Structure 1
Amino acid sequence: MNDGTRLLKLQETDLELQRLRLELSKLPELVQLARLRKRLSLAREEMLKVKGERKDVETDLADLAEEEAYYRKQVDGVQAKAARLTDYREVQDLEIELSNLAKALDKVAFDQRDRNEKLERVLAREQQGIAAIERLEGSVKSCAVRAREVATDIQERIAEAEQARTKLHGELNEDLAHAYEEAARAFNGLGVEALRDDVPTLCRTKLMESSLNEVTRGDAITTCPYCHRILVVHEEDDAS
């Protein structure tokens, strides 16, 4: 196999790889798997938010419990002090202090009820989220099994094509391999064409006699004077 044939075969292999990878990416089972994985990722992100909310509420409740304990300790101290007093004005002042402490405890109790109700809602969301994540994880696993089964044939063909590409590419010299990669990028994978009589196979622009004589007298691999792709003038095998 000469270099011209290798270039054409390499391009054919690359196009086949592109087609197979596109076919693989569009398999319904893989599309469904991608959707399920995205939903699972979003569900896990939401669960992190819910757990964060729960921790915030639990922190609030712990702070309120400390606040309640503080006010109750104050109440006990004021009541003990009131029992020892005989002066009316001092007793009256302590009663006012006890009234203020009672209001503070009422506010703490109100906040505690509010946080407990919020905690119940958050815990319910957390349980629902856990159940949803478990269902999605099960769906992802079963869908992955189905996707693997239907994709096996395509993946095997991709592996074979990749192996063939590596061999073909490795048989080209460094300059020609680089020229091929540059042409493939410039022409969206169609950077090599062959000369059929006096017409290149891709740009389909008939060569003038002078141009035809020039390319046929030159190297087996040249550049198309019209589209500037790599032009394989002689692609027949040298060895076989």
Structure 2
Amino acid sequence: MDEAQALLRLQEIDLETIRITNDAKKLPQHAKIAAAQAALKKVQGELVKIVGQRKDLQMDIEGFDRLRGDAERLEQQASQDFQTSADARAVADLESRLNAVTKRIEKIDYQQNQALEQLITVERAEKNANALQARLQNELAQLLGSLKQELLDSQNRLTALKREREEVAALVSPEMQARYNRANERFKGRAVETLTGNKPSSCRVALQPAQYADLKRRKLPVDECPYCHRILITDWH
């Protein structure tokens, strides 16, 4: 490989390095991972609320059980007093107490039934949220694994290109390397072009007859484009 061929290969390596690096940044897994993480965070937040609601309802139901037990004991005591009392006014008072306790029990039962229905709904929501969380966690794990593998493949390719670049750059003189680096920075990776007929491959501006004749007279394998001043590889054979 002569210096002209080395320059062309050097450009190919640098362009390939840029492409691989940019492709790695644009891998679809990046956006999918961000979306999955956001969805998972939202589900986890909702799950915390749902679990809190479930625990509150369970405590309410336990509280209703205690209230009902207290009311039943009051009802039992009032019923016993009612059966043993002979005083008409006392009997009327006990009857009023029994009615009040009965209504209280009915209210407790109604509130407890409502809480039980809400608990069923909340438990179903918790089950669904847990299932969604598990699905998102699995999806996220798969995406992270896929991204890791693709990034590893990209890194391996970049490592191989870096090694080849060092070998190819050794075939280019220090002066030409400096010239290549300046042009490479100026033209964003398109530092080298070839001459096909009288037209350079990158700037695509046809050379004037005098310019073409001047290049042909010099017959340098590595020259400079008269228009864009890129490194120009010629082939006069």
Aligning the two structures, in what range does the TM-score lie when normalised by the shorter sequence?
0.5 to 0.7
Bigger relative contact order, structure 1 or 2 (CA pairs below 8 A, ≥6 apart) = 1
Shift of 1:232: 0.9
For structure 1, the 5+ residue unaligned runs are: none
Q: Within 2, Cα distance between the matches of 1:214 and 1:5?
A: 22
Shift of 1:231: 1.3
Q: Could you tell me which amino acid in structure 1 is paired with residue 17 of structure 2? A: L
**Which residue in the other structure is 1:121 paired with?**
124
Q: Within 1, Cα distance between the matches of 2:40 and 2:105?
A: 44
Task: Identify which range, 109-118 or 12-21, moves more after superposition.
Answer: 12-21
Contact residue 183 and residue 191 of structure 2 kept, 8 A? no
- In structure 2, relative to structure 1, the CA distance for the partners of 1:138 and 1:205 (3 Å cut) is closer
Aligned residue for 1:87, secondary structure, equals: helix
For structure 2, the 5+ residue unaligned runs are: none
Q: Within 2, Cα distance between the matches of 1:14 and 1:138?
A: 33
Within 5 Å, which residues of 2 pair with 1:137-148? none
Q: Within 1, Cα distance between the matches of 2:64 and 2:165?
A: 73
Q: Within 1, Cα distance between the matches of 2:182 and 2:49?
A: 54
**Which residue in the other structure is 1:206 paired with?**
206
- In structure 2, relative to structure 1, the CA distance for the partners of 1:125 and 1:180 (3 Å cut) is same
Provide the TM-score with structure 2 as the length reference: 0.54
Contact residue 54 and residue 123 of structure 1 kept, 8 A? yes
Q: Within 2, Cα distance between the matches of 1:214 and 1:114?
A: 94
Task: Identify which range, 9-18 or 175-184, moves more after superposition.
Answer: 175-184
Give yes or no for the alignment of 1:66 onto 2:63: yes
**Which residue in the other structure is 1:232 paired with?**
231
Q: Within 2, Cα distance between the matches of 1:166 and 1:99?
A: 93
Shift of 1:62: 1.7
Shift of 1:208: 1.4
Aligned residue for 2:193, secondary structure, equals: strand
- In structure 2, relative to structure 1, the CA distance for the partners of 1:77 and 1:211 (3 Å cut) is farther
Provide the TM-score with structure 1 as the length reference: 0.54
- In structure 2, relative to structure 1, the CA distance for the partners of 1:3 and 1:235 (3 Å cut) is farther
Count the aligned residue pairs: 216
Shift of 1:10: 3.5
Shift of 1:159: 1.6
Identity %: 15
Give yes or no for the alignment of 1:87 onto 2:90: yes
Task: Identify which range, 33-42 or 2-11, moves more after superposition.
Answer: 33-42
Q: Within 2, Cα distance between the matches of 1:232 and 1:111?
A: 83
**Which residue in the other structure is 2:11 paired with?**
11
Within 5 Å, which residues of 2 pair with 1:1-240? 8-17=8-17, 48=44, 49=46, 52-70=49-67, 72-73=69-70, 76=73, 83=81, 87-88=90-91, 90-118=93-121, 121-122=124-125, 124-125=127-128, 156-165=156-165, 172-173=177-178, 177=181, 179-184=183-188, 189-190=189-190, 192-195=192-195, 198-209=198-209, 225=227, 229-233=228-232
Shift of 1:195: 4.6
Q: Within 2, Cα distance between the matches of 1:61 and 1:36?
A: 38
Shift of 1:122: 4.4
- In structure 2, relative to structure 1, the CA distance for the partners of 1:137 and 1:222 (3 Å cut) is closer
Contact residue 51 and residue 126 of structure 1 kept, 8 A? no
Contact residue 43 and residue 132 of structure 2 kept, 8 A? yes
